[in-house]
Amino acid sequence: MSIGKAEFQQRMQAIQQSYLASLGLTVLEFQDLWQQLTHSENWRHDLQMLMDRAHKLAGSANTFHLPQLAVAAKDMQNWFADLQPGQLDSKKNQFEQRLVSLQQLVEKARDSQIDC
């Protein structure tokens, strides 16, 4: 059974709206994973989880045509890759600034979707 162009576009729009709605949870995930990392006994594993989450966000943002969010997520992934175990306290403010930037890009993406 094939679907028409209008129905396909409606389904794609619903998927994009669902994705945009989930982005707020993604920002919260970064906060939770950072908190977990700061108290972790398995530091490398938890850092890898952060890098993987940033990688996933960069890819999905590209899929949904959100290039600024994709670039910010890739930048965050690279920033995580450069972290060393003794730097977490000194890098906390940088992490929080990056998280605020991500949140602003998420809000911008949601606002642009509303305007469509």
pLDDT digits (tens, 9 = 90+) for 56-100: 999 999 999 999 999 999 999 999 999 998 898 999 999 999 999
Task: Provide the whole-model pTM.
Answer: 0.87
Percent of the chain surpassing pLDDT 70? 97
Alpha helices in 1-116 (DSSP H): 5-38, 43-63, 67-81, 88-115
Q: What is the mean pLDDT of residues 17-37?
A: 91
